[in-house]
């Protein structure tokens, strides 16, 4: 806290992962936090690569510090894009700078890199992992996964169009008619739906496949053609609209039926990933061999092993004349809009645990309950504790604990199911819509205040079109 005002101090350090160009808070986010009675400290240069210079922060009341160590020393709450297990490259360098009682809010990869949380817990630091947000209406404006998946789906189409040795749209010219390219999008979640909308705008003939037959209407509303395979997938959706992880026999049959569809397409964009687990193989080496030379595969699940058997993360390779692109961290390649969206999400999350300028960590709040990873020197999330082979714990709840939350042994226990959700590029499955007053992506799927609105931005207009499916 600042000695002069007694207000909580929020710190935003520069991201240290190679290629990470986003910043956790943009100037508009600083305004929202200062209005809530918080002070904001920014590490010098934190927003430069996203297009936000130091002056844009100081002009609205933030303080700039040149030393990272000084920032960590001054602040009560650290807001980052990537922390803990989400920055294995250099995240550990900040451990010595942390102080007891500090709070970190960021992407943390709690399921894939649980050990990193155990190390942080030993520092008596409280960690909130934003990728663990529950699928409820009230959490829509905090949903960083859907926001970033929107960008990933859009950028995947641009990569494919730039790599493909032919144009996307049909053209009638003096030299003859150019036939349109055929694009197949595998997975109709946030990233998939955005890819469908973007490819359709570029003039391609777009097909899409998802194991959940109920998304057919959503695909068709964007101009895509839904691919129906003769598979038994009645139980393919879990609670909240996620696609479930299926057994290997299902995936084997799926691959057999998809081989013919893939062979007919010029571009295949795959988006299926499983939190904390290796992505399922949907496109085999044999299927790649059956594609036409010059075809392109863009694998958005590359960071988790890839949906294509031949994918190599962060590499572009050519096999059997087919170019296979395995991009990682695509949101960082459009850092301005990605930062704006992320900033709105994380600011909304933080303000949810601030009451009258002070912290109010209410464990009866489902949002707090599901995202809280460490507290009081221990890992408190049940799914993470199970991964670490730690015993379950009884976590004291607040006096306001609701009947729905009471009786749970530890935070996140209710999410510990056999079937893990398949998500799009680490994203929530529902498509984004736009809040009329904010212009930021929200998820649909529950009754709430989400509604369509026009947006002048490229990402905003794409989100708006994708959002029509549930209107």
Q: What is the 3-state secondary structure (H, E, C) of 262-306?
A: HHCCCEEEECEEECCECCCCCECHHHHHCCCCCCEEEECCHHHCC
At 212, is the pLDDT very low, low, confident or very high (cuts 50, 70, 90)? confident
Q: What is the dihedral of CA 23, 28, 34, 36, to 10 degrees?
A: -100
Please check whether residues 182 and 325 belong to one and the same domain.
Answer: yes
Cβ count near 392 (within 10 Å): 13
Query: Which is more confident, 109 or 245?
Result: 109
Give 60-93 pLDDT, tens digit per residue: 999 999 999 999 999 999 999 999 999 999 999 9
> How many structural domains does the chain have?
2
Do 370 and 452 fall into the same domain? no
pLDDT at 235: 53
312 is catalytic: no
Does residue 146 have an active-site annotation?
yes
Per the domain annotation, does 81 fall within a domain? Answer: yes
Active-site hit among 39, 80, 102, 140: 140
When pLDDT is cut at 50, 70 and 90, the band that residue 211 belongs to is: confident
Model confidence at 1: pLDDT above 80: no
247 is catalytic: no
Shared-domain flag, residues 253 and 343: no
341, 197: one domain: no
Whether the pLDDT of residue 237 is over 70: the answer is no
Give the pLDDT band of residue 199 (cuts 50, 70, 90).
very high
Tokens of 272: 């299926």
**What pLDDT score does 449 carry?**
33
CA distances to 134, 333, 421, 450 from 431, rounded to whole Å, are 15, 21, 15, 11
**Mean pLDDT, range 200-209, rounded to an integer:** 97
In a domain, 203, yes or no: yes
| Domain of 56, in residue numbers | 9-143+335-416+437-443
Pair (93, 157) in one structural domain: no
- Phi and psi for 428 in degrees, rounded to 5? -70, 155
Is the domain of 309 the same as that of 367? no
**Which range scores top for mean pLDDT: 4-13, 20-29, 248-257, 383-392?**
20-29
- Domain-embedded: residue 432: no
Inside any domain, residue 430: no
Q: Are residues 128 and 258 in the same domain?
A: no
Question: Higher confidence at residue 314 or residue 3?
Answer: 314
Helices 458-466/144-163 angle, 10° precision: 110
- Give yes or no: residues 259 and 314 share one domain: yes
- Quote the mean pLDDT of the chain: 84
| 400 and 270 both lie in a single domain | no
- Using alpha carbons, select from 220, 216, 296, 285 the residue that is nearest to residue 255: 285
Is 2 within the bounds of a domain? Answer: no
- Clarify whether residues 98 and 207 are in a common domain: no
DSSP state of 15: P
pLDDT at 387 > cutoff 60:
yes
How confident is residue 446, by pLDDT bands cut at 50, 70 and 90? very low
Q: What is the pLDDT of residue 275?
A: 80
Q: How high is the pLDDT of residue 3?
A: 54
Q: According to the model, what pLDDT value does residue 412 have?
A: 39
- Within a domain: 195: yes
Task: Compute the average pLDDT of residues 13-39.
Answer: 97
Q: At residue 466, does pLDDT exceed 50?
A: no
**Residues 81 and 221 reside in one and the same domain:** no
**Which residues face 290 on adjacent strands?**
none
Q: What is the pLDDT of residue 127?
A: 98
What does DSSP say about strands 205-209 and 225-226: parallel, antiparallel, or unpaired? parallel
Mean per-residue pLDDT for 311-339? 98
Split at pLDDT 50, 70, 90, the class of 239 is: very low
Beta pairing class for 182-186 and 432-434: unpaired
CATH of the domain at 165: 3.40.50.720
Name the burial class of residue 363, with classes exposed (0-12), middle (13-18) and buried (19+) by CB atoms within 10 angstroms of its CB: buried
Looking at 39, 116, 146, 254, which residue is catalytic?
146
Catalytic residue status for 143: yes
- Cα 302 from Cα 279, distance rounded (Å): 8
Please give the structure tokens belonging to residue 335: 């850092």
pLDDT band for position 457 (cuts 50, 70, 90): very low
Exactly one of 22, 82, 135, 344 is catalytic; which is it? Answer: 135
| Residues above pLDDT 70, as percent of the chain | 78
Burial of 333 (0-12, 13-18, 19+ CB in 10 A): middle
Residue 426 covered by a domain: no
The band of 121, judged by pLDDT with boundaries at 50, 70 and 90, is: very high
Same domain, 396 and 365: yes
Residue 252's pLDDT band (cuts 50, 70, 90)? confident
Range in 32-36, 184-188, 465-469 the model is least confident about? 465-469
Task: Give the pTM.
Answer: 0.82
Which is catalytic among the residues 76, 143, 210, 431?
Answer: 143
Question: Exactly one of 154, 209, 242, 440 is catalytic; which is it?
Answer: 242
Q: How large a percentage of the chain has pLDDT more than 90?
A: 72
Known catalytic residue at 237:
no
Q: Is the pLDDT of residue 463 over 50?
A: no
Most confident of 181-190, 207-216, 451-460: 181-190
pLDDT tens digits, 265-286: 999 999 998 888 899 899 999 9
> How many residues are recorded in the chain?
471
In a domain, 457, yes or no: yes
């Amino acid at each position: 806290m600042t000695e002069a005002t007694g207000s909580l101090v929020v710190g935003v350090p520069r991201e240290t992962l190679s290629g990470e160009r986003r910043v956790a808070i943009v100037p508009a986010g600083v305004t929202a936090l200062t209005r809530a009675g918080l002070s904001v400290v920014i590490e010098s240069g934190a927003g430069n690569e996203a297009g936000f210079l130091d002056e844009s922060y100081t002009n609205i009341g933030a303080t700039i510090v040149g030393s990272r160590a000084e920032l960590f020393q001054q602040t009560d709450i650290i807001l980052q894009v990537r922390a803990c297990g989400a920055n294995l490259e250099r995240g550990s360098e900040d451990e010595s700078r942390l102080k007891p009682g500090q709070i970190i809010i960021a992407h943390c990869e709690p399921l894939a890199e649980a050990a990193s949380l155990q190390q942080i817990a030993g520092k008596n630091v409280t960690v909130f992992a934003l990728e663990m947000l529950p699928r409820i209406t009230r959490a829509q404006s905090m949903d960083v996964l859907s926001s970033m998946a929107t960008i990933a789906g859009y950028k995947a189409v641009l990569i494919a169009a730039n790599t493909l040795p032919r144009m996307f749209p049909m053209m009638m010219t003096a030299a003859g008619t150019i036939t349109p390219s055929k694009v197949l999008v595998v997975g109709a979640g946030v990233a998939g739906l955005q890819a469908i909308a973007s490819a359709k705008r570029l003039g391609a003939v777009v097909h899409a496949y998802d194991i959940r037959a109920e998304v057919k209407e959503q695909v068709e509303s964007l101009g895509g053609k839904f691919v129906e395979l003769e598979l038994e997938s009645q139980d393919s959706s879990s609670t909240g609209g996620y696609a479930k992880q299926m057994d290997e026999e299902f995936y084997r049959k799926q691959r057999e039926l998809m081989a013919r569809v893939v062979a007919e397409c010029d571009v295949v964009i795959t988006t299926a990933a499983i939190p904390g687990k290796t992505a399922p193989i949907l496109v085999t080496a044999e299927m790649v061999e059956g594609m036409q030379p010059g075809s392109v595969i863009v694998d958005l699940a590359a960071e988790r092993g890839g949906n294509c058997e031949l994918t190599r993360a962060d590499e572009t390779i050519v096999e059997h004349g087919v170019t296979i692109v395995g991009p990682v961290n695509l949101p960082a390649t459009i850092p301005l809009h990605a930062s704006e969206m992320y900033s709105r999400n994380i600011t909304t999350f933080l303000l949810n645990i601030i009451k009258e300028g002070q912290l109010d960590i209410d464990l009866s709040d489902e949002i707090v309950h599901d995202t809280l990873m460490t507290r009081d020197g221990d890992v408190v999330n049940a799914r993470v504790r199970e991964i670490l082979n730690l015993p379950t714990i009884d976590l004291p709840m607040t006096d306001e604990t609701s009947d729905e939350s009471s009786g749970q042994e530890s935070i996140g226990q209710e999410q510990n199911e056999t079937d893990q959700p398949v998500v799009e590029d680490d994203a929530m499955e529902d498509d984004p819509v736009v809040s009329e007053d904010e212009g930021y992506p929200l998820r649909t799927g529950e009754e709430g205040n989400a509604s369509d609105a026009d947006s002048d931005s490229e990402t905003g207009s794409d989100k708006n079109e994708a959002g029509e499916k549930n209107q």
